[in-house]
Amino acid sequence: MTKIQVLGTGCPKCKKLADAAESAAKAAGIDYTIEKVTDINDIMAFGVMMTPALVIDGEVKTVGKVPPVEEIQKMLA
Amino acid sequence: MSTQAQGTGCCGGTTLIFSCSGAADVGAVADRAARKLTLDGAGRMFCLAGVGGRVPGIMKTTEAADKILAIDGCPLNCAKACLEQAGFTSFTHLQLADLGMQKGKTAVEESSIATVAAKGAELLGGATCCG
């Protein structure tokens, strides 16, 4: 089970990243869970100071941007 | 002790400030100047040790920064070397010796901290945090 976490306090780009991550996971056909982390302290615990950020299985993959779905799909592979 | 500005900047556009924070007097001045710049809103002090340790969240955040300022207390330039060894080449560098502050001969006091912070703010071109 792949654990996907989207770090962001709720701005439009954060929601966009969550949608993109969901689409990528579905396209990849993997078992996954997706969690939105909105608490600033929880976000900063990842060492992240810019949002949105994408975390896959505990590792920060992107910060401060919304990558294309295809790119996220590669990260999930 | 004053509270340091915290929080995340949404959607990029952040200025990060790294200090050598070394053991010597000039390291302490560099550290406190970085904290002052954060409080003044010129950017956000960030963990140089996280870059040294290649901590993923800190590395990715640094990669996404619009501007980076590295403050070194002495000519050993440890902060600069640390960033460069981690692959960061596009940053502004401030070294306290260039401001006439010598290792072992610099008082850690408000005036020296303010001098370094003012130079740092000048080098950042008046950048402000997006967050």
Q: What is the 3-state secondary structure (H, E, C) of chain B?
A: CCCCCCCCEECCCCEEEEECCCCCHHHHHHHHHHHHHHHCCCCEECCHHHHHCCCHHHHHHHHHCCEEEEEECCCCCHHHHHHHHCCCCCCEEEEHHHHCCCCCCCCCCHHHHHHHHHHHHHHCCCCCCCC
Residue A1 — pLDDT band, cuts 50, 70, 90? very high
Question: Are A48 and B61 an interchain contact pair (Cβ–Cβ within 8 Å)?
Answer: yes
Q: What is the chain B residue with the closest CA to A45?
A: B57
pLDDT of residue A24: 97
pLDDT of residue B71: 98
Which residue is catalytic, options A3, A9, A10, A11? A11
User: How crowded is residue A31: how many other Cβ atoms within 10 Å of its Cβ?
Assistant: 7
- Chain B nearest C-alpha distance from A23 (Å): 20
Residue A77 — pLDDT band, cuts 50, 70, 90? confident
pLDDT of residue B7: 52
Could you say which residues of chain B have pLDDT below 70?
1-13, 126-131
Q: Is A11 a catalytic residue?
A: yes
pLDDT of residue B13: 63
Asked casually if ipTM beats, i.e. exceeds, 0.90, the reply is: no
Q: What is the pTM assigned to this prediction?
A: 0.81
Helix (H) or strand (E) holding A54: strand A53-56
Residue A10 — pLDDT band, cuts 50, 70, 90? confident
* Measured CA distances, A29 to A2, A25, A36, A69 (Å): 11, 6, 20, 13
Residues of A in contact with B9 (CB under 8 A): 49-51, 64
Residues of A in contact with B50 (CB under 8 A): 47
What percent of chain A is modeled with pLDDT above 70? Answer: 100
At A49-72, the pLDDT tens digits run: 999 999 999 999 999 999 999 999
